[in-house]
Structure 1
Amino acid sequence: MTTHSSETDTGPLQRRCPDCGVGTGQAHLDGCDVARCPATGLQRLGHSPSCRCPQDVGTGRWPGEAECIEFGWMLGPGMPDLNRLLTTATWDPATYRWTHPGTPTPNTEGEQR
């Protein structure tokens, strides 16, 4: 697996969400296109109203960008391959992160599955 420096692959952290305008570390506002559902990793906008997941917090990066850098899935400098991420990786709701295919995940008893 190739790892890349965030300095060379991405720009600086965004100080504000490009959609709802909240600062890094703050919960995205309802209706924000950038916010993700922590239960599914998918866009929170339009997800089931019955989902009781907590609000997503802005990180200063586009959702999934950090994982694309980590996995070496970049289309070019500053261009994470988010389509590959969404179609290949698996969302881990316990860690709120996408996992690389083939990465063992612990089951509820803490054993690898």
Structure 2
Amino acid sequence: MMSLRFLPLLSVLLFTGCGTVGNMVIQDQTLEQKAAFALNTTSDKVKVSNRQGAIDGTINFVATTGGKSYQCYITTVGGAISSQAICSGSSSVKTTNNADNKQCNALLQAAGRC
């Protein structure tokens, strides 16, 4: 009966580093496939960068496709089970590319898109 008392503590310790472990286990190709589905494109057109695993079980990354970058994340349980990717709008990632700034006009500046 004494060991049942420590079961909740053991489960918390077991799942604490799921995102960190999942970040080491899950490959870029898997993240590209999940992001491609969320962004309605194919995985060969998606590039993954800035991967970070968190202790809450999420893997945050930036998916770039068609010259636009999107903040994405998945949730995982130790890399064995993972969710589909959820990605933000393309204006959520700041780019320092000068080509983007050349296409900026007064209307886009007023909307905060430049």
TM-score, normalised to structure 1, is: 0.29
Comparing both structures, which one devotes a greater share of its residues to helix? 2
Which structure has the bigger radius of gyration? 2
TM-score, normalised to structure 2, is: 0.29
